[in-house]
Homo-oligomer: A and B are copies of this chain.
Amino acid sequence: MSVASPVSSLNGRLVSIKALFLNCTLKPSPQTSNTQALIDKVAGLLGELGVASETVRVVDHHVRFGVSSDEGAGDEWPAILRRIKAADILVIAMPIWFGVRSSVAQLVLERLDGTYAESDPGTGQYPLYGKVAGVIVTGNEDGAHDCCANTLFNLSHLGCLVPPNVDCYWVGDAGPGPSYIEAGGDAHLYTNRTARYMAHNLLWGVQAIRANPIGTDLSALDAEARAVSR
């Protein structure tokens, strides 16, 4: 994991904006990851906008199954979670298997479940409040919508803002076939277009949320809800 810190202009001030990509491929380094190729494209576009990107290839780390933020001895999730908390933009990137997101992507979401227990003592907001979410998907065919929909919804539940058009995917036509790199997905118009929409709208999201932080007091609303519930 390495991170640079370029500066970006937000309302005239120079500020640092950081994007974290979690590559949820099943293949450990140094195997070629099609998902990484698409991550690199989006990260490059964000870089042109002054956003610093880093990628964590999750399967290279020993992340234990579980739903807490620390599953004990040898668990490397806590270090990844610190990276997530330090980022402004969180992009979950994944391959499709059997029409849905990879087991590694699902593992990441399960581990993020632990953040519900780390809410802010004042506002009750979860740690991912104030972050902006995106999703990247590659597969040799079919399943991207399911991956995008579930992942963005899960992230919005965890506190992230989801701007319009922050998904970028490539899939081939029906049945087995070449994947993103081999198929020349790098020159696929739809994917290139949405990669750009995504980069620009993620940046907008960060700017919007910095200019207008979400002030919702979840704790106060909880108390209000308890008063009218059984």
Q: A26-B67, A97-B109, A192-B225 are in contact. Are A153 and B145 (CB under 8 A)?
A: yes
**A159–B66 CA distance with the chains assembled, in angstroms:** 31
- Contact check, B164 vs A189: say whether CB atoms are below 8 A apart: no
Residue A1 is within 8 A (CB to CB) of chain B in the complex = no
- Contact check, A192 vs B228: say whether CB atoms are below 8 A apart: yes
Query: A192-230 vs B: 1/0 string, CB under 8 Å?
Result: 111111001100100111011011101001101110111
- Closest-by-CB residue of B relative to A96 is B145
A152 surroundings in chain B (CB, below 8 A): 149, 152-153, 156, 162
**A226–B208 CA distance with the chains assembled, in angstroms:** 29
- Contact check, A103 vs B110: say whether CB atoms are below 8 A apart: yes
Interface size for chain A: under 10, 10 to 19, 20 to 34, or 35 or more residues?
35 or more
Instruction: State the number of copies, please.
Output: 4
- Contact check, A189 vs B230: say whether CB atoms are below 8 A apart: yes
- Report A118-151 residues with CB < 8 Å from chain B CB: 128-129, 141-146, 148-150
Which one, B59, B165, B228, contacts A156 given CB within 8 A?
B165
Q: A204-B216, A216-B200 are in contact. Are A102 and B97 (CB under 8 A)?
A: no
- Contact check, B164 vs A190: say whether CB atoms are below 8 A apart: no
**A208–B166 CA distance with the chains assembled, in angstroms:** 17
**A173–B214 CA distance with the chains assembled, in angstroms:** 29
A226 CB to nearest B CB, Å: 6
- Contact check, B214 vs A212: say whether CB atoms are below 8 A apart: no
A175 surroundings in chain B (CB, below 8 A): 188-191, 193-194
- Contact check, B145 vs A146: say whether CB atoms are below 8 A apart: yes
- Report A31-62 residues with CB < 8 Å from chain B CB: 59
Residue A163 is within 8 A (CB to CB) of chain B in the complex = yes
Binding site for B on A (CB under 8 A): 26-27, 59, 65-67, 97-104, 106-107, 109-110, 113, 128-129, 141-146, 148-150, 152-154, 156-167, 169-176, 184, 187-197, 200-201, 204, 207-209, 211-212, 214-216, 218, 221-222, 224-226, 228-230
